């Protein structure tokens, strides 16, 4: 494994945890400040995953100025309530422990502001599994997944050829490809198989257990070359 797959990067929202309630309710709160009513928070699940600023522009059609204000409104609720309206996806702790026991080094690469990501990882006792966690900055910089992944590679001296990015949305896959990192899409989050395949995911896992199986298989294939 020394010269093959050794470093596993995980997205946070929709991959390690299910943040649906907190994110959708906080987006709804932000939209309400613009006198926009939402029929049901479930309609806001497309906001889960991509950078929020981009989503307010692309999904809601906001101007950059309005999108920036919407992000501030979102954070008003998210930092006090929404962050903890969340739950660890079943099977994730066992997967992380198994991978770590097999000698893999684990990282978090999220578009979420790192100050929130670190609190969530600590709150749900996931932080101990990871060597390093990277996210965006509150000022909006380093919000693209490509930038976050590259930050992990640079800060931790991780060779791209030895890394795998795991995430549930196309942004995770596109970001990995931009960094010449292998990618795995997961279907227990908020992206569809069509979305992940179209983005160019190298592999796709339907369940948490399958994530571990695929990683072991990739490792064995490299050892048998």
- Decide whether 7-18+86-223 matches 20-84 in CATH topology: no
Rounded Cα–Cα distance for residues 150 and 172 (Å): 12
Task: Report the C-alpha gap between 211 and 194 in whole angstroms.
Answer: 18
Q: With respect to CATH, is domain 20-84 assigned 2.60.40.420? A: no
Q: Which residues contact 86 (CB under 8 A, 6 or more apart)?
A: 17, 18, 19, 21, 22, 120, 124
Residue range 2-19: mean pLDDT, rounded? 92
The answer to whether residue 1 scores a pLDDT higher than 60 is no
Lowest-confidence segment of 60-64, 121-125, 170-174, 220-224 by average pLDDT: 220-224
Question: In sequence order, which residues have a C-beta less than 8 Å from that of residue 11 and are 6 or more positions away?
Answer: 49, 108, 109, 110, 145, 165, 166, 167, 168, 169, 172, 189
Alpha-carbon distance of 16 to 126, in angstroms, equals 9
Instruction: Look at domain 7-18+86-223 and name its CATH class.
Output: alpha beta
Identify the pLDDT of residue 219.
85
Q: Say yes or no to pLDDT of 57 above 80.
A: yes
Nearest Cα to 9, choosing from 126, 189, 153?
Answer: 153
Q: Quick one: pLDDT at residue 3?
A: 61
All structural domains of the chain with their residue ranges: 7-18+86-223, 20-84
Count CB atoms within 10 A of the CB of residue 77.
20
For residue range 65-78, list pLDDT tens digits in order. 999 999 999 999 99
**Which active-site residues does the annotation give?**
11
């Amino acid at each position: 494994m020394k010269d093959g797959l050794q470093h596993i990067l995980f997205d946070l929202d929709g991959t390690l945890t299910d943040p649906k309630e907190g994110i959708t309710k906080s987006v709804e709160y932000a939209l309400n400040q613009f006198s926009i009513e939402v029929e049901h928070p479930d309609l806001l699940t497309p906001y889960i995953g991509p950078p929020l600023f981009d989503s307010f522009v692309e999904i809601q059609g906001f101007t950059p100025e309005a999108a920036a204000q919407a992000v501030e409104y979102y954070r008003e609720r998210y930092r006090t309530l929404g962050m903890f309206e969340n739950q660890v996806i079943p099977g994730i702790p066992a997967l992380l422990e198994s991978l770590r026991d097999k000698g893999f080094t684990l990282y978090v690469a999220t578009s979420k502001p790192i100050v929130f990501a670190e609190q969530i990882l600590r709150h749900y006792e996931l932080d101990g599994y990871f060597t390093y966690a990277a996210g965006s900055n509150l000022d909006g910089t380093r919000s693209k997944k490509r930038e976050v992944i590259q930050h992990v590679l640079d800060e931790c001296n991780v060779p791209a050829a030895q890394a795998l990015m795991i995430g549930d949305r196309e942004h995770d896959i596109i970001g990995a490809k931009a960094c010449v990192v292998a990618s795995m899409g997961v279907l227990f989050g908020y992206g569809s198989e069509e979305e992940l395949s179209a983005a160019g995911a190298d592999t796709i896992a339907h369940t948490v257990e399958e994530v571990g199986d695929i990683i072991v298989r990739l490792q064995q294939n490299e050892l048998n070359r």
